[in-house]
A and B are shown apart, each in its own frame.
Chain A
């Protein structure tokens, strides 16, 4: 709990810097944290790979925008309704794909992600095709429009902190123990009475909801949607964020999102070199730091220190 308070205070403090660039960066980090936490619950804690999480993010974004436009729903409501719909979709996708495991599951989720992306491009009447949707209204409170980074900041991070707290409680609950048991060994989990399929479906549902929530907020924050940001590349970047964070570690994943977003910013002037860095980082983290970059580097430091200290004695 203390950590959440410190984080909230630090975030509030960051607003005092009054730096537009910094606040914008933090909003982007917040928007990416939501799907990343969802993916961490699924991949890290429950051990089920997904290469299609950008699809849930995209469905949340497009869903919110289309619901707002077609049914005239209020932005707050359309984000919520779209997220619930995506959660239901995720549950059914889960019921289908979790009959598979290993590389079959990886490919099935990748295929799901690509099918959704093709749908976003091809369903021109609904999604505007490659040109996308423009003029999505911003969120507003009592007629006050939340267009600036400073105004949207508390909303995004409020949602983030809420979902992080929810995830943290979940993994500490009996259900969280079942999730970890499934990740370790499905047969053992089933033998002690865990309904493995149901747990996976529920986590998929929650994971989809978090991703869609991020997507919906993104749509109303940016005000413009095109299929580009919701492609396989984003799914892989989410995977990278979760990997850097150490998979089964909520706070680690937050670090992963910050780290990857900052790297992306640093490498922006170099053009397309950022992609190479992402790929190389993914390989390095998976080989050398399977428990995440933070913990891995910490372990490395301790390892380096101990012989030095022993030498001093």
Chain B
């Protein structure tokens, strides 16, 4: 029983990580319709920047804030240089984000090498007892941040003026422009938002999941799967999908084999793509209309 609880807990934590990465997709997707294949790499940049700044003597919190700002700026540059020229064409946009991911990974190898970089936990390493199972304090940070970001984003998209503009641009960019929205500006803001979300996710999970130059691909794909399971563009769906994926993976690793753990995500992805492409909650636009 304790064993099952332990697996469930670690599944929850890993699931929150996937959810955290997954919500990062929502910003860009909800405005441009582009799935950012470099989303996981934004998380890696945020985490590695923080680690480097921290090692250079900057305290953790300012280092993290600075890294988030840098990632945000990077995302803005990416949008301006690479995405704006092909706005009309989603497939070309996707291929470009793949290229951006490749470039970021290449630069990361040169800047940080191929070794995994550790980051100190935010509030100590002493495990917390919980009905016989144990939990690292950092896990609470992960779960807490996931809950806060998901809730905040949901309110943002549903109840703020800017959030509603975001969704309007996704539904019909032409009509959005017709009523006076600057779609190009919205696109830039959406990239900056996704950059921030990615960096926050990367930094929060760094003490648990060691970060190296190519972690981004795996993280990004897991986040994408979380989005597909829950419903693309819907932050609550992404969190729900992440939790489901994390728990399933944890049980599969615990009771079947850890080698095939990664395959589960992809099998789930294919199952959902074929049988319920809108995800559990449906895409945000469909759910709310």
Contacts and interface: CB of A to CB of B under 8 A. Distances in A.
A107 B105 CA distance: 19
Given A102-B90, A118-B260, A287-B82, A107 B269 contact: yes
Contacts of B209: none
Q: Which 10 A-B pairs have the closest CB atoms?
A: A279-B102, A276-B106, A279-B103, A282-B99, A275-B106, A103-B35, A283-B99, A111-B266, A272-B109, A279-B99
B270 A96 contact: yes
B259 interface: yes
Give the size category of A's interface with B.
35 or more
A118 B267 CA distance: 12
B46 interface: no
A118 B260 CA distance: 8
Determine the main DSSP class of B at the interface with A. helix
Given A122-B259, A272-B109, A276-B106, A107 B99 contact: no
A36 B36 CA distance: 25
A278 B95 CA distance: 12
Contacts of B100: 279, 283
Interface of B: 34-35, 37, 82, 85-86, 90-92, 94-96, 98-107, 109-110, 217, 221, 224, 228, 259-260, 262-263, 266-267, 269-270, 273-274, 277
A100 B91 contact: no
A236 B270 contact: no
Nearest to A51: B98
Nearest to A102: B90
Contacts of A119: 263
A96 B99 contact: no
B91 A102 contact: yes
Nearest to B105: A275
Given A272-B109, A276-B107, A280-B103, A108 B94 contact: no
A288 B94 CA distance: 15
Contacts of A3: none
A52 B266 CA distance: 13
A239 B95 contact: yes
A275 B102 contact: yes
Contact of B101 (A107, A122, A279): A279
A118 B109 CA distance: 23
B227 to A, nearest CB: 10
A272 B35 contact: no
A243 interface: yes
A111 B264 CA distance: 11
A154 interface: no
